[in-house]
Amino acid sequence: MRREVPVFVAGAIGVLVIVEYFFNVPTLRSWSTEIQNWAVIISAFALGLGAFGLARNHTARVVQKKPDSFNSVLLLATLAVTTVSGVISRTDKTFLFIFENAITPLGSAFYAMVAFFVASSAYRAFRARSVEAVMFLLAGTIVMLGRAPIGEMIWKQFPVITEWIMKYPNLAGMRGFQIGVAVGVIGVGLRVLLGIDRSYLGGEA
């Protein structure tokens, strides 16, 4: 009974939201809106619980003086500053200042460091060991030359070919990928609605 009730509630709510999306029923719309509002509230509490757990774990690391505890101190300090500024400040200027002067530069530095790993992965992926790898290598090289200013200096058709690759083969592949993801999401949703997948209850599915 402890598992059947949550499964029934999850399935009933899922069916209600799906039916409301496809059919114009005012009563169902009001219920669906109320459910979605509660989902936003629960997500906010989950976010707060996650922040509390993060702060507790890193506080324990600092108290135990584990290696790299300086990073934990930095995380706790930034978390406290952001939280306090959000509670005290009545405008978005403080958050905008933090975003423009801390998050954006750190994000740029992160992507700059990730570029080395991307280059290493590209080197391993571009090894021409098969016909598909050769095609991948040629397409990647043409796209890189077409996007870089030096490519147009070498040959004016590189940007044109790059645009064609991005507009047709790449777009077709992305759409196929998105369709596959959508089918997977539908399959997972049906498993949850039918009570087959119960992993959200914790423990064994």
Q: 43-64 pLDDT, tens per residue? A: 999 999 999 999 999 999 999 9
Residues in Cβ contact with 150 at an 8 Å cutoff, skipping those fewer than 6 apart: none
Per residue in 82-106, pLDDT (tens digit) is 888 877 776 667 777 887 888 888 8
Tell me, what's the pLDDT at 181?
96
d(CA 33, CA 20): 10
Arithmetic mean of pLDDT, 143-159: 90
Q: With respect to residue 189, please indicate whether it lies within any of the assigned structural domains.
A: no
Q: With respect to residue 28, please indicate whether it lies within any of the assigned structural domains.
A: yes
Tell me, what's the pLDDT at 186?
92
Tell me, what's the pLDDT at 39?
92
Q: With respect to residue 148, please indicate whether it lies within any of the assigned structural domains.
A: no
Q: With respect to residue 84, please indicate whether it lies within any of the assigned structural domains.
A: yes
Q: With respect to residue 58, please indicate whether it lies within any of the assigned structural domains.
A: yes
Q: Which whole-number Å values give the CA distances from 142 to 64, 116, 132, 178, 188, in the listed order?
A: 53, 20, 15, 24, 38
> 77: domain range?
1-88
d(CA 55, CA 79): 8
Q: With respect to residue 65, please indicate whether it lies within any of the assigned structural domains.
A: yes
Q: Are 17 and 32 in contact (CB under 8 A)?
A: yes
Q: Are 3 and 198 in contact (CB under 8 A)?
A: yes
How many structural domains comprise the chain? 1
Q: With respect to residue 25, please indicate whether it lies within any of the assigned structural domains.
A: yes
Q: With respect to residue 56, please indicate whether it lies within any of the assigned structural domains.
A: yes
